Chain A
Amino acid sequence: MNAFIHHFTFEFRTGIRNKQLLLMNYLFPLGFYLMMGFVMAEINPPFREDIIPAMIVFGILAATLLGIPDPLVNARENGVFRSYKINGVPSISILVIPALTTILHLVIMAVLITATAPLLFDAPLPVNWLNYALIFVALSFACAGLSVLIGVVSPSSRMTVLWSQLIFVPSMLLGGLMLPYSMLPDVAQKFAQLLPATQAMNAFNGLAMGKVAAFFPWGSVIILFISGVLAFGLAVYLFSWDSRNTTRRGHPLLALLVLLPSVVGIFLLP
């Protein structure tokens, strides 16, 4: 327990101390939130209704997908994991603790957005706070798992950026943050359901913000949780202490199994 506390404390401080992580955890999400609030809310007034869930989803995507994988790859390439292994740091701690500390930073970010949006932009507050918190946890868990998995299977920082952007950019365009899901063409809607952002926006609308969900909202919450469990499980299974390890347990393409819950959801969710 003592080791967990020291490890957690160090990783949490790193989220503020490290300029790249500070940018991804706070400056980028909060800066984007203020910009969108002042600009988009003027151009498109109905956006005020979505500003809280949309900017929280954006913050979670930025902090996890853009913040978690790269430090994992760098640590592996610089021999940090080897040093950890010799000193008895378990692989599960290496993967789970950065995810937990990022989620704690995200809680702070979410509180700041939720508290200020009604005052600054006249944004409506959630009508069901419990569901609001539950969906926040589900999305954070799923995205953190996905990000850890990207860090584990990426052979280099360049590949990390590629994989992360493959999820981040479509999430921005199709995830319901800027444009309502209902306005997308049918094919784009099916593709969008593969994205955690779409599931989270659907759940926020149907379960927390008092709006109508595009498809079964509890299904979205379940998909996010199962995706998170699957992502962390695959990350632990595929974890390698260093890049020259020739005895890896599975092929990195196994990571694509993380899409399974969303694919099943496309066919099952009404």
Chain B
Amino acid sequence: MKNSVIEVKDFRKTYGDYVAVDGISFDVKQGEIFGLLGPNGAGKTSTLECLEGLRAPNGGSLRVADIDPASESRKLRDLIGAQLQSAGLPESITPDEAMKFFCAYHNVAPRFDLLERLGLAEKRNSQFYELSTGQQRRLALALAVAHNPQVLFLDEPTAGLDVATRVELHGMMRELQAGGTTIVLATHDMAEAEQMSDRVAILLQGKIVNIGTPLEITATGAGLTKISVRTQASSLSVSGITFPAVSQHTSKDEYSIYFSSDIGTTVSAIIAHIEAQGDTLIDLRVERPSLEDRFLEITNAGVAQ
């Protein structure tokens, strides 16, 4: 059993009368990639900011690498790395200068190799405002990991990145994890969270509404499987057709789409119907519920309440 590197107990954060985080508890084990998911205003950034020592909590306790971030933030500096949501660098600084500058404050040698690896070799002497959004985020990431932190906080790390850089970033996250780095990932990208996170917590209106592995979370939902079918003569387009175990039906781009609680029964009935109508099956796709489906289910239910 690995040690907990991050421990959050009954954590509460308010801004005046507004309650941003309302008594949440979770822990993150060493070497784990932990996803924080939630719609805007759910309390993700407030949680990250308090863990990073940027703000003080209004209640509960936080420990990062056995340090209280609010009262011992100086001790925390060399142990954590953070890629913030905002740019966080002066407009006129160059990647080379930024690397020397931050590494000097962490008392480590500059890691220019990271600039090359993240595709910034040709931009080393460009000013920060001249970099594209993706390049700015890559630089922020290079700076966050340059001092080899124990805990890495990533706030929307792949926003604005192209596919190749996103793959590179994910590879780097896996390498850091293999080296024992604990990563807290706040993201809106459900596919990324599902692919990268060992566990995720879904926040809604300042509370954790679900926590577990992506598989555990998707399994706790309504469990509807999406079945998309396309036929040559569009025999499924006729209104009034029903199939067993189907709770929702829609159509898109010549596909009839069914949400079923019993995949075997529904697919058998659909195929039987197509044959009975003398039609020909062109395409049939079955998709298990994703983390995104489950997330939408949870957040929609929360908003409705």
Q: Which residues of A are in contact with B by a Cβ distance under 8 Å?
A: 2-3, 5-7, 9-10, 13-14, 17-18, 71, 75, 78-80, 82-83, 85-89, 241-242, 244-247
Cα(A89)–Cα(B143), bound, Å: 14
B 83-100 binary contact with A (CB < 8 Å = 1; else 0): 011111111110001001
Find out whether the CB atom of B15 lies under 8 angstroms from the CB atom of A244. yes
Q: Which residues of B are in contact with A by a Cβ distance under 8 Å?
A: 15-16, 52-56, 73-74, 77-78, 80-82, 84-93, 97, 100-102, 104-107, 127, 140, 143
A7-B101, A88-B105 known; A247+B88 contact, CB < 8 A: no
Given contacts A10-B101, A83-B140, A88-B74, 12 further A-B contacts (CB under 8 A): A9-B97, A10-B93, A13-B92, A71-B90, A82-B84, A83-B88, A85-B54, A86-B82, A88-B105, A241-B54, A242-B54, A245-B55
A87-B102, A88-B106 known; A78+B87 contact, CB < 8 A: yes
Q: Looking across the interface, which residue of chain A has its beta carbon closest to that of B81?
A: A86
Q: Could you list some 28 contacts between A and B, CB below 8 A? A: A2-B107, A3-B101, A3-B107, A7-B104, A10-B90, A13-B92, A13-B97, A14-B92, A18-B91, A75-B90, A78-B87, A79-B87, A80-B87, A80-B88, A80-B90, A82-B84, A82-B86, A83-B82, A83-B140, A86-B52, A86-B53, A86-B77, A87-B102, A87-B143, A88-B77, A88-B105, A245-B55, A247-B56
Find out whether the CB atom of A85 lies under 8 angstroms from the CB atom of B56. no
Min Cβ gap B136→A in Å is: 12
Which A residues are CB-close (under 8 A) to B73?
85
Find out whether the CB atom of B104 lies under 8 angstroms from the CB atom of A83. no
Min Cβ gap A243→B in Å is: 12
A14-B92, A247-B56 known; A83+B84 contact, CB < 8 A: yes
Min Cβ gap A231→B in Å is: 23
A82-B84, A86-B53 known; A17+B105 contact, CB < 8 A: no
Min Cβ gap A98→B in Å is: 10
Q: Which of A2, A3, A17 has the most CB atoms of chain B within a 10 A radius of its CB?
A: A3
Q: Looking across the interface, which residue of chain B has its beta carbon closest to that of A71?
A: B90
Q: Number of residue pairs across A and B with beta carbons under 8 Å?
A: 79
Cα(A17)–Cα(B92), bound, Å: 7
Which B residues are CB-close (under 8 A) to A71?
90
Find out whether the CB atom of B105 lies under 8 angstroms from the CB atom of A89. yes
Cα(A87)–Cα(B104), bound, Å: 10
Find out whether the CB atom of A2 lies under 8 angstroms from the CB atom of B84. no
Find out whether the CB atom of B86 lies under 8 angstroms from the CB atom of A79. yes
Which A residues are CB-close (under 8 A) to B104?
2-3, 5-7
Find out whether the CB atom of A10 lies under 8 angstroms from the CB atom of B97. yes
Which A residues are CB-close (under 8 A) to B85?
79
Cα(A14)–Cα(B94), bound, Å: 10
Min Cβ gap B285→A in Å is: 43
Which 3 A-B pairs give the minimum distances between C-beta atoms? Answer: A83-B88, A79-B86, A88-B77
Q: Looking across the interface, which residue of chain A has its beta carbon closest to that of B101?
A: A6
Min Cβ gap A248→B in Å is: 12
Which A residues are CB-close (under 8 A) to B16?
246
Which B residues are CB-close (under 8 A) to A87?
77, 102, 105-106, 143
